Structure formats: C-alpha cells, structure tokens
Homo-oligomer: A and B are copies of this chain.
C-alpha cells in the first residue's frame, strides 16, 4: 500500500538543510530525515545515492544560497558601501541559517566543481567591487583573501561560541570590516616596516 508522495531530490535537500538549521549541533541521519518527510528510510535512495552525496548536495545548496544573498546585498552599491553590505550579508546568512553554513563548511569534498561554483560567483563579485580601488592584480588577490578570511573567521568563531567577552559583537564585526576598508583605501599602511621574516 505505498502511496505516492511528491518526493524529489530538491525537497530532500531542502528538508535536510532546514533540519540542520533547527539543530545545528546534531548530525544528520537518514532515519530522521525520512521521518520528517513521512517516508521509510530506503525510499530516500530513489532520489539520492547515499548519505555523503546528500551532504555534498546540501553544501552546494548552501553555497548558492550564500552567493545569492551576497549578490543581492551588493546590488546598487559600490566601493566601501558594497564591501560593508556584503560582509554584513555573510554574517546574516550565518545567523539565519547556522546549520546550512556549517554543512557548507564541512562538505565532504570542498574542492568539488559544483561546490566551487558558488564560491566563484562570490569571488567575481569581489573582484568587480575592488576594481575601482586601483590595486595591483596581486594585491587584489591578497585583499580578497584577507576579506574572506576576516569575515569567515569572525562568523565561524562567533557560531562556535568562541567570543566570550561581554562586548557587542555587531560592533566588533564593524570594527573588523572597517579595518579592511581602511586598508584598501589607504595603501601606504601596507608599506609598514616588516621586521618579522619567516624563518
């Protein structure tokens, strides 16, 4: 007496993503996922290959979601304004969809093509936004890496509960992003004496 549910690959991925948001700590099980979809566990295998592939799929979904949000944030903005807006959009993403963000970080194979596609969209946006600052090609890459590291690092530590002090996190984040903005506006600060050399 199996009755046809309208199960699709997309529904499964989105439900999995939602479940991870509701309980970011606990690991995703096919049993729970099937229960949420009101289906027996093996039925999932009609739509996905296995658990690892599903995790990868969720990560890809998250990467695109993030790229979409950053794109929206950047629309109609330029320069410092765009950089700040995109940074805040990233942080909002982590706040609103914590489990999805974690799933994207913990992708089984982070280097995979389709997963990189979302990241690439973000990179291209950043390149366009940084264009008018007149950085050298190399410096632009350093700058993009720096911004990604700063924002990603902040939200990851925040999500992991890594910031204990009772000082406003929004303020800290703004401080961080303004540090970056100052750097790309004011290139002479990068000419500081570099006394420390790597051994």
Contacts and interface: CB of A to CB of B under 8 A. Distances in A.
Interface of A: 80-81, 84-85, 88, 105-106, 110-111, 116, 119, 138-139, 141-143, 145-146, 148-154, 156-157, 160-165, 167, 170-172, 174-176, 178-183, 185-186, 189-190, 192, 194-196, 198
Contacts of A160: 105, 110
A182 B189 contact: yes
A17 B154 CA distance: 26
Contact of A192 (B106, B185, B195): B185
A22 B5 CA distance: 45
A84 B192 CA distance: 13
Nearest to A177: B196
